[in-house]
A and B are shown apart, each in its own frame.
Chain A
Amino acid sequence: MAKFFAVTIIAIAILSAIPILRHTWDPPADISTHGGRIDEQMSETMAEAGISFLASQILLALFIWRFSNTRPGDKIKTFPGGAKAMVWAAFLLVGTEVLALGVFGVKAWADVYLTAPAANAMPVQVQAGQFAFYFRYPGPDGTFGPLHPDLISEANANFFGLDTAHDQDSKDDIVTAEMAIPVNREIHLLMHSKDVGHSFYVPALRVQQDFVPGLDLSLHFTATQIGKYEIVCTQLCGLGHYNMKAYLEVMSQEDYDSWLKKQAALQ
C-alpha cells in the first residue's frame, strides 16, 4: 500500500505539471507595454514554485516508499543534520527564493502603480455600476464636467449624472458604453463607482483594479495591439456580476478619431 501511495503521489505531481509545461491553458496574449514584466515574474515564480512542488512531493513519496514496511529488527534513524539542517534549508533555499521574487517583483508592480502617468497621457473616465461600465471622454475642451450623483438616471440615460444645461465643461463630454483607445498611446484611466464595489479586469492588458465607492482611483497603461478585448468585473457586485462586461477596442489613431466623432454626434 505504501509503495502504491508513493507512486500515486509522484504520478499526481507529474500529471499536475504537464498542463503548465505545455501551456495548455494560458491567459490571453499580452497587449500592453508593462505586461511583459508581469509575465516574466509569473514564469520565474512558476519555475521556482514548480521545482519546490515537484521536489517536495517526490521526496515525500520516496520516504514513504523507503521507510514503511520495515522489518521488526530495524532501528529508527535520524536525518543527518537533524532539525538544524531543515531550518537552514528553509531559510537559505526558501528565504532566498522568496526574497528574490519579492525584490524583482517590485519592479513589475512599480511599472503599474508607482509611476505617474505621462503628462500627455489620454484621460478616459470609467464608471462602474450594477451591472455595466460606462466611459466618458472629455471632448474638444479636454476637461471633464463635474458629476452630480443626484442627477444619475438610467431612465434618462444620464449615467454619470452630468448637468449639461448648466455645466459648461459637461456640454462636450462624450459618454459611451464601449471603450475605444488609440494604439500605442498611454491612457490615464480615471475610475469611480456609482454604487457598490466592482473591478476593472482586462486579462489581455494585464490590468486589474477595484472600483472602491467613495474613492477616486486611477490606472495608466498603453496598449500595443489593435483588436477587440474584454473588460470584465472581478469584484462581486450582485446578481448580474457574471454578466458585467464591456469591450475595449484598440484602434489606429485615425480609426479612433473617426469613432470618437461618431460618438460625439450620438450624444
Chain B
Amino acid sequence: MHDMSAHAAEHHAPTSFIRKHVFSLDHKVIGKQYYGLALVAVLVGMVLSWLMRIHLAWTNYPIPGLHLLSANGAPGNVMTPEYYLQLMTMHATIMVFFVLTTAPFTAFGNYFLPIQVGAEDMPFPHFNMMSFWVTFVGFLVLMSSFFVSDGPTLGGWTQYAPLSAVGSAAGPGQGTGVVLWAAAIGIFCIGQLLGALNFITTTLDMRTKGMSMWRLPLSAWSWFITSVMGLTAFAVLMPACILLILDHVAGTSFFVPSGLVLNDQLQPHSGGSTLLWQHLFWFFGHPEVYIAIIPGMGIVSHVLITNMRKPVLSHRVVVYSMGALAVLSYMVYGHHMFVSGMNPVSSLAFSFPTLVITIPSSIMVLIWLGSLYGAKLRINTASLFALGFVSMFISGGVSGFFLAQPSIDIMLHATYFVVGHFHMVMGVAAMFGIFAGTYFWFPKMFGRMMNETLGKIHFWLSFVGAYCIFMPFHYLGIAGNVRRYQAFVDDYLQPLIPVHRFITIAALLTGAAQLIFLYNLFHSRFWGKPATDNPWEATSLEWSTPTTPPPHNNFGDKLPEVFHDPYQYGVESSTGDYVMQASPEKVKSAHDEA
C-alpha cells in the first residue's frame, strides 16, 4: 500500500478531445472503450451465429442479401460449405477473444479495479492506453480477413495444424486468412499482457490505506486472479502464433511433418509436430475458459451479495476456490486431446485433475446456494442475471462430468455435446455475468439508471431463450451429431434436423431480444433517470466516489481510507443495514472482520 497523495498531484484531467476520449490514459475511459469494442464484436459475432444457424437448419435456402457480404462465399445468397466454416471460425474467434475476454475482464476490470482498491488510476496509464489500442488493432486485423480474396480462415478457432500451417493448398482462407488470424491473435496477446501487468500491479501496489488483500471485493479478486492467468496463458499463445506465421512466410516447419500430400503435391515441409500446436494451443486454451468465466464469478458474487444483503458464507473460501480453479486450469488442458493420438496413459493423467476441478467449482455453487439461505434477496435485473448465471453455471458445469472422462469422450468428442457444454458455461454464463455487471454498474459509469422493466423483459427472454438453444445441443451430441458440419448428410443425423430447426428459431428470437438491451443501454445513457451515488446501497469503494460518474482521479483531493471488510451487510448502522468500506463508523457486525 502506498500513500498516493504525491502522485495524485501529477494526475491532471486532460482537456483536448483526443486525449480525453480517444487516446485517453484514464482507466475509466479505457474500460468504456473496451466495453464498446466488446459491444461491436458481440453484435458481429451474433449476426454470424444467426447466419450459421439459418444455414444449418435450412441448408441451401437463400438468405436475402448474403451475397453482399461475400459474392464468392454466398453465390445466389446461398452459403458455400467453406463460407460456413469461415463464418464459424470468425464467430468463435470474435466471441472468445474480443467479447468474453474483453467485456468481463478488461472492460469492467479496467473501470472498477482501481476504484475498488482505492487508487486514482492504474500504475502504468500509457501501457493501459496501449493495451486497448493494440487490442483494437488486433480486432481490425481479424476483421480485415473478411475482405481478402479467399476470405477468412476456415480452420476453427483452435486452428489445428497442419490444416492451418500448410497454406492455401489446404483450402480457401488457409493462406492469407490464417496469417491474418494468427497476427490478430498475436497482437491481441500483446494487449492482454500489457493489461495484465497493470491489473497485477494495481492490486498489489495501489491499494489505499486500510485496504488489505482480504478486504478486496470478490470482483477485484477475480480480476487479479484472471490477470495472473492472462500473463501466463497469453505468453504461450503469442509465440505459438508467431511460429504459425513463420510456417507460412518463412518456410519453417514447426507444425508440419514430412510426407504430406495435398492436391497430389508432396509438401516441402519436414520435421514438425502437429501435436505441438495442440499442446501450445490448449495450454493457453483451457486457462482461457477460466479467464472468461472467473471475472463472471467475481462480478456475480459482488452483485449477489449486494442484493442478498448479506455476505457470502466465506469470503476466503470463494477466493481460494477461484485460485484453485486458476491453478488447476493449467493441469487439465489435455482433456481436449483424449482422442488426439496422445499417449493413452496421458489421457488418464489429464482426466483426474479435470475431475478434481469440479470440486472448487462445486464449492463455488454451494457457497452461492448456501449464502442465499437466510438472505433478504432483492429482485432487480442485475440480481436476476446473477442468479441466472448460477443456474447456467450449474447446467454447463454438470456436463463437464462427462467430458472429463476419456472413455465417454470417445463418444462425445467433437459433437454438439461439447458445443452445448462450453456455450452454457463460458458463453451464456459469462454473458450473464456481463449483463449483471452492466445493469449493476451502469449507474456509476454513466450517472443514469437503466430501465428496469426493459431489463427484466431482456432477462426473461434471454434466460428461457438460452436454455432453448443450448440444452438441445447436449441431446444432439448424445445422439452423435458431429460439430463443425455445414450440412447434415449422414443417414444417422437425419432425425436430428428438426432439433436443429428448433434451435435456430430459438437463437433468432433470443438474439432479437438482445436488441432490447441495446436500446435500453443507449436510451438510458442519455435519457435514463439520474442515478444517486449509491443506488444499490452497496458497500465497496466504487460507491464512495465524490461524484457519479467518478471524477478524473476517482476520489477527488483525498484517497479514501478503508475501515471495513468489503461486505458488511446485515449490520445496524446510521445508513441502514450496511456500512461502507470507507465509513469510519463502528458498527455491531454479525460477521467477523478479517
- A interface list, Cβ under 8 A from B: 1-2, 5, 8-9, 12, 16, 19-20, 24-28, 37-38, 41-42, 45-46, 48-50, 52-53, 56-57, 59-60, 63-64, 67-70, 74-79, 82-83, 85-87, 89-91, 93-95, 97-99, 101-102, 105-109, 112-114, 129-130, 149-150, 152-155, 161, 194-197, 199, 201, 203, 206-215, 217, 230, 232-243, 245
Q: How far is the CA of A1 from the CA of B455 in the complex (A)?
A: 13
Q: Say whether B379 contacts A199, CB under 8 Å.
A: no
Chain-A contact segment, one of B394-402, B518-526, B528-536: B394-402
Q: Say whether B260 contacts A213, CB under 8 Å.
A: yes
* B81 at the binding interface (Cβ < 8 Å): yes
Number of A-B contacts (CB under 8 A): 322
> Are A112 and B407 also in contact (CB < 8 A) when A59-B369, A241-B484 are?
yes
Closest partner residue, chain B, to A38 (CB atom): B407
Q: Could you say which residues of chain A place their CB within 8 Å of the CB of B312?
A: 83
Q: How far is the CA of A94 from the CA of B20 in the complex (A)?
A: 51
* B341 at the binding interface (Cβ < 8 Å): yes
Closest partner residue, chain B, to A42 (CB atom): B408
* B40 at the binding interface (Cβ < 8 Å): no
Q: Say whether B363 contacts A87, CB under 8 Å.
A: yes
Q: Could you say which residues of chain A place their CB within 8 Å of the CB of B259?
A: 149, 214
Closest partner residue, chain A, to B338 (CB atom): A109
Q: Say whether B351 contacts A63, CB under 8 Å.
A: no
* B479 at the binding interface (Cβ < 8 Å): yes
> Are A212 and B475 also in contact (CB < 8 A) when A2-B377, A98-B359, A109-B347 are?
no
> Are A212 and B387 also in contact (CB < 8 A) when A28-B480, A98-B358, A235-B160 are?
no
Interface CB pairs A-B, < 8 A, 28? A1-B456, A5-B379, A5-B387, A16-B467, A25-B478, A26-B478, A27-B479, A49-B399, A68-B378, A74-B376, A76-B375, A79-B313, A87-B363, A101-B404, A108-B408, A149-B260, A149-B266, A150-B266, A195-B170, A196-B166, A201-B414, A206-B410, A208-B339, A236-B160, A238-B82, A241-B486, A242-B489, A243-B489
Q: How far is the CA of A38 from the CA of B161 in the complex (A)?
A: 30
Q: Pick the residue among A2, A113, A211 that contacts B344 (CB under 8 A).
A: A113
> Are A67 and B341 also in contact (CB < 8 A) when A212-B275, A234-B413 are?
no
Given contacts A1-B456, A49-B402, 6 further A-B contacts (CB under 8 A): A16-B471, A25-B496, A86-B317, A203-B411, A208-B413, A242-B484
Q: How far is the CA of A232 from the CA of B372 in the complex (A)?
A: 47
* B123 at the binding interface (Cβ < 8 Å): no
* B569 at the binding interface (Cβ < 8 Å): yes
Q: Say whether A102 contacts B355, CB under 8 Å.
A: yes
Q: How far is the CA of A37 from the CA of B479 in the complex (A)?
A: 17
Closest partner residue, chain B, to A191 (CB atom): B341
Q: Could you say which residues of chain A place their CB within 8 Å of the CB of B273?
A: 214
Q: How far is the CA of A209 from the CA of B406 in the complex (A)?
A: 12
Q: Say whether B339 contacts A199, CB under 8 Å.
A: yes
Closest partner residue, chain B, to A198 (CB atom): B163
Residues 359-408 of B at the A interface (beta carbon under 8 Å): 359-360, 362-363, 365-367, 369-379, 384, 387, 390-391, 394-395, 398-399, 401-402, 404-408
Q: Could you say which residues of chain B place their CB within 8 Å of the CB of A152?
A: 261, 264, 266
Q: Say whether A28 contacts B496, CB under 8 Å.
A: no
Q: Could you say which residues of chain B place their CB within 8 Å of the CB of A149?
A: 259-261, 266
Closest partner residue, chain A, to B340 (CB atom): A210
Q: Pick the residue among B170, B351, B374 that contacts A105 (CB under 8 A).
A: B351
Q: Could you say which residues of chain A place their CB within 8 Å of the CB of B344?
A: 109, 113-114
Closest partner residue, chain B, to A51 (CB atom): B398
Closest partner residue, chain A, to B395 (CB atom): A53
Q: Say whether A99 contacts B355, CB under 8 Å.
A: yes
Q: Say whether A109 contacts B348, CB under 8 Å.
A: yes
- B interface list, Cβ under 8 A from A: 80-82, 85, 154-156, 160-163, 166, 170-172, 174, 256-262, 264, 266, 272-275, 308-310, 312-314, 317, 339-341, 344-345, 347-348, 351-352, 355-356, 358-360, 362-363, 365-367, 369-379, 384, 387, 390-391, 394-395, 398-399, 401-402, 404-408, 410-411, 413-415, 456, 463-464, 467, 471, 475-476, 478-480, 482-492, 495-496, 499, 569-570, 590
Q: Say whether B408 contacts A236, CB under 8 Å.
A: no
Q: How far is the CA of A105 from the CA of B379 in the complex (A)?
A: 43
Q: Say whether A108 contacts B407, CB under 8 Å.
A: yes
CB distance from B428 to the nearest CB of A (A): 13
Please list the 5 inter-chain residue pairs (A to B) with the smallest Cβ-Cβ separation, ordered nearest first: A77-B374, A214-B257, A83-B314, A108-B407, A113-B344
CB distance from A199 to the nearest CB of B (A): 7
Q: Say whether A12 contacts B475, CB under 8 Å.
A: no
Q: How far is the CA of A56 from the CA of B401 in the complex (A)?
A: 15
Q: How far is the CA of A8 from the CA of B456 in the complex (A)?
A: 14
Q: Pick the residue among B274, B308, B402, B487 that contacts A213 (CB under 8 A).
A: B274
> Are A208 and B411 also in contact (CB < 8 A) when A5-B384, A91-B359, A109-B406 are?
yes
Q: How far is the CA of A198 from the CA of B374 in the complex (A)?
A: 54
Q: Could you say which residues of chain B place their CB within 8 Å of the CB of A105?
A: 351, 405-408
Q: Say whether A85 contacts B370, CB under 8 Å.
A: yes
Q: Say whether A209 contacts B85, CB under 8 Å.
A: no
CB distance from B5 to the nearest CB of A (A): 38
CB distance from A66 to the nearest CB of B (A): 8
CB distance from B513 to the nearest CB of A (A): 15
Q: How far is the CA of A206 from the CA of B366 in the complex (A)?
A: 35
CB distance from A259 to the nearest CB of B (A): 21
Q: Pick the residue among A1, A56, A233 that contacts B369 (CB under 8 A).
A: A56
Q: How far is the CA of A63 from the CA of B499 in the complex (A)?
A: 33
Q: Say whether A25 contacts B266, CB under 8 Å.
A: no
Q: Say whether B81 contacts A242, CB under 8 Å.
A: yes
Q: Pick the residue among A27, A50, A69, A237 that contacts B163 (CB under 8 A).
A: A237
